[in-house]
């Protein structure tokens, strides 16, 4: 299914019919709505689920480059307006957690409850050079060897490159079954915004302090929805340091939140889907 927004972008999405409660799912980087398949299949039918491909991901368009996560948040607001989704539960995985937090801060009356799954920090996701030095500008990111290797692999359609990278970083212990994994890799190959997103994630900061590149906007304090933070202790993508930044920033801003540590890596949906479903159900009920 797809819907064209008033800003000219066409957003592809999946929908699973269910009950009156609406749950909107926002995927992460090198991903698409396909990565929500296990959760869509296993969540109880009392939820109607929407899972869009964000702008520049999957089957969605990328007519206008994004500059910040605010652009994604605006897309989601327009998406919800088009589909008449006025109050939702919102869940974001990895970079999608940043988009979800920005949306919840920008439109607090639209979010009933917020779930952050292996989310980037409230202070962003740092872009680092191969020797661990923090990159500061989009130009530096665009010159980074790893970013360019990834872009080259996309252009050449090197599925093996993304299979190895995702197996090591996202699915090191529990690899998806072959058919699902192939869909996930296809989504990574479709991404059109790698440099722009890396720059936006590097500069994302809704805290009240500097992240080393940019001062915090303080938008975190605008979030009024209860928050569930789920992080896997074996996560190789989102570190404990990043997660504790998020948790401590929520404490300092008096956000009503629950923090749970899972025995998983960066993809709890593959590593321990049953426990994730239990946590979501307990939180949303």
Please state the rounded mean pLDDT for residues 109-114.
98
The mean per-residue pLDDT over the stretch 114-128 comes to 98
What CATH number does residue 70 fall under? 3.40.50.1820
Residue 249 is part of which domain span? Answer: 2-284
Antiparallel, parallel or unpaired: β 111-117 and 10-16: unpaired
Determine the pLDDT at residue 81: 98
Asked if 137 contacts 188 with a C-beta cutoff of 8 angstroms, the reply is: no
Percent of the chain having pLDDT more than 90? 97
Contact yes or no for 216/205 (Cβ under 8 A): yes
Q: Please determine, for residue 124, whether its predicted confidence score (pLDDT) is greater than 90.
A: yes
Percentage of the chain surpassing pLDDT 70? Answer: 100
pLDDT-derived band of residue 107, with 50, 70 and 90 as boundaries? very high
Q: Quick one: tokens of 268? A: 């709890």
pLDDT at 159 over 90: yes
pLDDT at 235 over 90: yes
Is 76:27 a contact under the CB 8 Å cutoff?
Answer: no
Mean pLDDT, range 259-275, rounded to an integer = 97
User: How many domains is the chain built from?
Assistant: 1
> How remote is the C-alpha of 71 from its chain's centroid?
14
Phi/psi at 121 (5° precision): -70, 160
Question: In 94-235, where does DSSP find H-type helix?
Answer: 95-106, 138-142, 145-156, 159-169, 178-190, 194-203
Query: Comparing C-alpha atoms, which of 176, 215, 159 is closest to residue 37?
Result: 176
User: Would you state the pLDDT for residue 255?
Assistant: 98
pLDDT for 8-52, tens place per residue?
999 999 999 999 999 999 999 999 999 999 999 999 999 999 999
Dump pLDDT digits (tens) for 202-212.
Answer: 999 999 999 99
- Write the CB contacts of 90 (distance below 8 Å, at least 6 apart in sequence): 23, 24, 26, 100, 103, 104, 111, 113, 114, 115, 225
Examine the pLDDT at 173 and tell me if it is beyond 90: no
Q: Does 137 score more than 90 pLDDT?
A: yes
For residue 234, the model assigns a pLDDT of 97
- In the prediction, which pLDDT does 59 show? 97
DSSP, collapsed to helix, strand or coil, labels residue 39 as helix
The stretch 138-157 carries a mean pLDDT of: 94
User: Structure pTM?
Assistant: 0.98
CA–CA separation, 96 vs 11, rounded Å? 15
- The per-residue pLDDT for range 181-204, each reduced to its tens digit, is 999 999 999 999 999 999 999 999
């Amino acid at each position: 299914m797809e819907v064209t927004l008033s800003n000219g972008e066409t957003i592809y999405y999946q929908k699973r019919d269910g009950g009156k409660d609406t749950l909107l799912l926002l995927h992460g980087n090198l991903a698409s709505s396909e990565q929500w398949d296990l959760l869509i299949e296993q969540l109880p039918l009392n939820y109607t689920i929407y899972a869009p491909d964000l702008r520049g991901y999957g089957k969605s368009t990328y007519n206008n480059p994004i500059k910040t996560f605010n652009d994604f948040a605006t897309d989601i607001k327009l998406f919800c307006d088009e589909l008449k989704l006025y109050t939702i539960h919102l869940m974001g995985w990895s970079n999608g957690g940043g988009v979800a937090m920005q949306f919840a801060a920008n439109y607090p009356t639209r979010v009933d409850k917020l779930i952050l799954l292996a989310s980037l920090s409230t202070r962003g996701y740092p872009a680092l050079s191969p020797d661990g030095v923090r990159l500061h500008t989009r130009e530096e990111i665009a010159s980074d060897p790893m970013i360019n290797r990834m872009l080259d692999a996309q252009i050449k359609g090197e599925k093996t490159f993304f299979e190895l990278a995702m197996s090591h970083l996202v699915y090191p212990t529990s690899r998806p079954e072959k058919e699902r994994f192939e869909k996930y890799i296809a989504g990574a190959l479709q991404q059109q915004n790698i440099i722009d997103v890396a720059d936006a994630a590097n500069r994302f900061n809704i805290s009240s302090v500097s992240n080393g590149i940019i001062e915090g906007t303080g938008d975190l304090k605008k979030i009024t929805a209860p928050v569930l933070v789920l992080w896997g202790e074996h996560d190789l993508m989102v570190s404990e340091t990043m997660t504790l930044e998020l948790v401590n920033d929520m404490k300092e801003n008096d956000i009503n939140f629950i923090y749970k540590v899972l025995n998983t890596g960066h993809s709890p949906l593959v590593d321990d889907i049953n426990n994730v479903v239990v946590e979501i159900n307990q939180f949303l009920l």
